[in-house]
Amino acid sequence: MEQVRITVFDTTLRDGEQSPGCSMNQQEKVRMAQQLDRLGVDVIEAGFPIASDGDFEAVKAIAAAIRRPVIAGLARACRPDIERAWDALKHAARPRIHVFLATSDIHLKYKLRMTREECLRHASEAVAFAKSLCADVEFSPEDATRTDPEFLFQVLEAVVEAGATTLNIPDTVGYTVPAEFGELIAAIRSRVKGIENVTISAHCHNDLGMAVANTMAAIAAGARQVECTINGIGERAGNAALEEIVMAMHVRRDRYPYQTGIASEQLFPASRLLSEITGSAVQANKAIVGRNAFAHEAGIHQDGVLKNPLTYEIMTPQSVGVPDSQLVLGKHSGRHALAIRCERLGYQFDRRALDEIYRRFVRLADKIKHVEDHHLLELIRETPKPAVSAAAMFEAVPIAIAAAAGAATHDGPRGFPLAPPANAFGLPIPPSEHHHDQEDYLWGV
């Protein structure tokens, strides 16, 4: 069965750029837009051309350089904004004018000082004007989730009639919750005349930490475009994170049987490039692209992942462009990961020797939190070898050195060390799996 296609509208360069510390110059925006193109987004919202000359030039440059995706420019519901947006976009291969106007009473009364009637007229006239310039027009009723639904339906109907091709429903202040947002999308689908001819889009902010959940609820209710940003950057708490939406669909195809044009292995490179350009770091525990997203410190988890990554990973790091999982050595780590790391450093220990190394390792980790390779090497050097009578307990064989000396134990032909049997991570299978004298559970602690 053919899967429903979701349009991915990336607004990293517009809404994302509006977040403190994330502004980008023209060259940086073009560089990021090229990566978004590689990533396979369908629409790049390149900026807000009336906002500054720099933004105008950046939108123009992106429109000239990036030819596959639709390039959108934002405009308020007034002629000067729309004209400026069109000036920046008119040479794009696939231009889109994105017009917005607030519709909630609170915005109308305090911000715009406009009546509902005036709002309705402005929205409809602005869309008609945009349509006279550009076939592809998106309309957003800002603060839609706090707008009286009956008035919202009225505005949406008017802009569809005026020529809008996409109706974007913004949760501007991150106020809604998934069930409510899903119901709103469903109500729009059933109440707005002409809705079957346009695309419904979701644009969610993360003030309550529900931007992605709300977006997924909107998709389930019939939205077919999602607006999102790399790393979830955006106003205040940010926008819905593109990488999370895409991977939710990917990993939970059973619940979200939809398809996107995203090349998921470009997600991590996109995240990295954005942080490099903006100088804004990604939080370590950020889903999909955070430093810890594929890192395991707890011994029981490390043991599980080493035996089969599926025990604690629901997607492969490679599927999102992360080179590999990481086993971080800290006080929660277990013997299994420690043994693997020692082997990688060229040392193999028998069970009792490893216990001794492990005891010292935990004491050190308690003090310094993360044990790096050089700490471990020092610790191995400083651990006294047991008496000769107990030699079997401690077999610190620096594998490479032993190999160079032609040691028999681990040698392959010509004295080279044999690569130990590899597990799914390409890591050597630890002694536990070739010496069956270890109780399995011990490896996790």
Question: Which residues bind to ligand KIV, rule: CB under 6 A?
Answer: 15, 100, 140, 142, 168, 170, 172, 203, 205
List the single partner that 157 binds among ligand KIV, Zn ion, none, CB under 5 to 8 Å by kind: none
User: Closest distance between ligand KIV and the C-beta of residue 57, in Å?
Assistant: 21
Q: Which two tokens stand for residue 301?
A: 């988890």
User: Closest distance between Zn ion and the C-beta of residue 333, in Å?
Assistant: 42
List the single partner that 142 binds among Zn ion, ligand KIV, none, CB under 5 to 8 Å by kind: ligand KIV
| C-beta closer to ligand KIV: residue 178 or 299 | 178
Burial of 414 (C-beta count, 10 Å sphere; 0-12/13-18/19+): exposed
Helical (H) or strand (E) element with 138: strand 137-142
List the single partner that 140 binds among ligand KIV, Zn ion, none, CB under 5 to 8 Å by kind: ligand KIV
Packing angle between helix 299-307 and helix 335-344, nearest 10 degrees? 60
Q: Is 171 an interacting residue with respect to Zn ion (CB under 5 A)?
A: no
| C-beta closer to Zn ion: residue 184 or 322 | 184
| C-beta closer to ligand KIV: residue 203 or 307 | 203
User: Closest distance between ligand KIV and the C-beta of residue 76, in Å?
Assistant: 9
User: What is the distance between the alpha carbons of residues 424 and 269, in angstroms, rounded to a whole number?
Assistant: 23
> Which residues on adjacent β-strands are paired with residue 179?
none
List the single partner that 260 binds among Zn ion, ligand KIV, none, CB under 5 to 8 Å by kind: none
| C-beta closer to ligand KIV: residue 106 or 424 | 106
User: Closest distance between ligand KIV and the C-beta of residue 418, in Å?
Assistant: 59
C-alpha neighbours within 13 Å on the C-beta side of residue 387: 1
User: Closest distance between Zn ion and the C-beta of residue 100, in Å?
Assistant: 9
| b/e burial code for range 220-236 (CB count within 10 A of at least 16 → b) | ebebbbbbbbbbbbbbe
Q: Which of residues 6-45 bind Zn ion (CB under 5 A)?
A: 15
| C-beta closer to ligand KIV: residue 136 or 142 | 142
In angstroms, the first-to-last Cα distance of the chain is 47
List the single partner that 100 binds among Zn ion, ligand KIV, none, CB under 5 to 8 Å by kind: ligand KIV
> Cα 179–184–44 angle (5° rounding)?
100
**Closest alpha carbon to 377 in 349, 347, 356, 407:** 347
| 8 Å CB contact between 391 and 384 | no
User: Closest distance between Zn ion and the C-beta of residue 14, in Å?
Assistant: 8
| C-beta closer to Zn ion: residue 136 or 142 | 142
| C-beta closer to ligand KIV: residue 240 or 322 | 240
Whose CB is nearest to Zn ion? 15
| C-beta closer to Zn ion: residue 12 or 264 | 12
User: Closest distance between ligand KIV and the C-beta of residue 174, in Å?
Assistant: 9
Sign of the Cα torsion 71, 73, 74, 78 reads negative
| b/e burial code for range 18-34 (CB count within 10 A of at least 16 → b) | bbeebebebebbbbbbe
User: Closest distance between ligand KIV and the C-beta of residue 19, in Å?
Assistant: 11
- Report the phi/psi class of residue 423: left, alpha or beta, with left for phi > 0 and alpha for psi in -120 to 50: beta
What are the residues binding Zn ion (CB under 5 A)?
15
